[in-house]
Amino acid sequence: MVFMGDRATLLETGRFVQQRGQDAESAVDAAFAAAIAGAGAPVQRTGAADTSVAAAPSDEDTTDAVDAADSAESEARHRRAADEGDTASMSVLGALLLRRGELDGAERYLRAATADGDRAAANNLGVLLHQRGYPDEAAGWWRIAAVAGSAAAAHALGRHFRERGDEPGAEYWLRQSAEQGHALGAYALADLLEHRSDVGAERWLRAAAEQGHREAAYRLARALERKAVEDPHEAFGLGRSAASGGTGTGLDLPGATPASAQNAPAAPPAGAKGPAEGDSPVAGPAAGRVGEAEQWYRQAAARGHRRAALHLGAILEQRGELKEAGRWYLTSAKDGEPRAACALGFLLRDAGDEESAAVWWLRAAQDGDGNAANALGALHAARGEQQTAERWYRAAMDAGDVNGAYNLGLLCAAQDRIPQAEQWYRRAAYAGHREAANALAVLLLQAGDHAGAEPWFSKAAEAGSVDAAFNLGILHAGRDEDRTALGWYERAAAAGHTDAALQVAMALLRDGDD
């Protein structure tokens, strides 16, 4: 079968001209669509003669012409008109057959329509050829349609170039598409620019989001959120730490109050706690960005974006609007988002419904959520079901949640299995868990290894462990290094450690400064 032939020269003939009327066609090949969230090959909204097919996200508007043709009677009417040489009917019929997967029949009508200069047919012929496995021929027809003014074809051509690593070519055609108001073109351009950290990405995300593109709305919200908070990866702490409770492990040295109980359960890793757990609310310009982020999350969530629903729930939970937060978590969880199921479990637990919480944690844990597995472990540990708790902590660790190793250490320590506890603490500490580093230092100190303990206390304190800072104060005070000890006590006290504050007050009294 000949796919290009002499029609390839049409680009130079001027036969494909800018058509009058509405031009909001959207076309992208099936392979590219998968990268966006693709489905099938819905026919996109066009003018009377613009009947472009798009193997694109299913939330795009469908063309009135093709929808009208999608009945036996209407199809027969278009078929008769097409057989009589009506270009618009050939284009509509080709698009309809392409959408149904009848490629042979579609190709016949699309080629006939392109011979008469139908731009949408050229675009759809590109889609068809790409589906048949002829990407270069597809690109040729997309170029013809794009030069004639098709924003959808420019988008498809831009994706084609990007897939082949030609970023300048991709940017040129995606920009052509985006500047014509094509939502998918704007989104693809934003994705390209964001990939190379170009500040222009936000503008095009906004352009796509304003046209109802849900993934653009979600990513715009994330960009705004990143500007509003310090942590660029999980602003608002999606999913609380599945700690059993407590704050960590402290020293028990003569003359000093322990930082906390020796067998206290797991504390969250550095950065795991979000505003929903008591962080100060965002203020100033950042608050405005958070408010705008919330609006975009709402738009994306309303269009079925499960991660947007998750983030929206987290914002609402932070504000104390727990009922609405729970609704969005539930929506997201039902759509298959395990982090939402986990967060919903915490809300239910806090409301006193531990059994329902366990149901959602189990669902999330079975989907690979380590935080939920930790929560289940903590639940069973609190009930004295140590073997079940250990199984879930191991599942959390296997899922990549460092709290799992830490909680296993705590569990072993509570059972006086000190060598195993040290093994798990060390594993978590090497993975960056600050409270595990503190707990490991305590074990080493209790074993008489002061030289081995101090570096771990320092690592934990520098990573933000308040208990470790207090413990360093105790360690230096035991060596009569009072000035250094006071510095660590002051650091812990400034972070809210009451025992450290007491040590600071006692030091001031000793120095005669009240």
Could you state, in chain order, the average pLDDT of each consecutive group of 10 residues for the chain (514 residues)? 25 34 35 31 35 38 50 88 92 95 95 94 97 96 96 97 96 97 97 94 97 97 85 49 42 35 35 35 63 96 98 96 98 98 98 97 97 97 96 96 96 96 97 97 95 96 97 94 95 96 92 64
Which residues, in sequence order, are CB contacts of 410 under 8 Å at separation 6+?
Answer: 244, 249, 263, 264, 265, 266, 421, 439
Q: How many residues does the chain have?
A: 514
pLDDT digits (tens, 9 = 90+) for 274-321: 333 333 444 456 667 889 999 999 999 999 999 999 999 999 999 999
Say how far apart CA 126 and CA 113 lie, in whole Å: 13
Say how far apart CA 205 and CA 192 lie, in whole Å: 11
Tokens of 62: 């469908």
Query: At CA 180, angle to CA 165 and CA 128, rounded to 5?
Result: 55
Say how far apart CA 5 and CA 175 lie, in whole Å: 29
Say how far apart CA 260 and CA 418 lie, in whole Å: 18
Domains defined along the chain, listed by start: 5-196 (1.25.40.10)
Distances (CA, A) of 449 to 255, 443, 455: 20, 9, 11
The distance from CA 453 to its chain's CA centroid, rounded to whole angstroms, is 38
The distance from CA 334 to its chain's CA centroid, rounded to whole angstroms, is 17
Q: Specify which residues 44 forms β-bridges with.
A: 62
pLDDT digits (tens, 9 = 90+) for 136-182: 999 999 999 999 999 999 999 999 999 999 999 999 999 999 999 99
Q: Are 428 and 406 in contact (CB under 8 A)?
A: yes
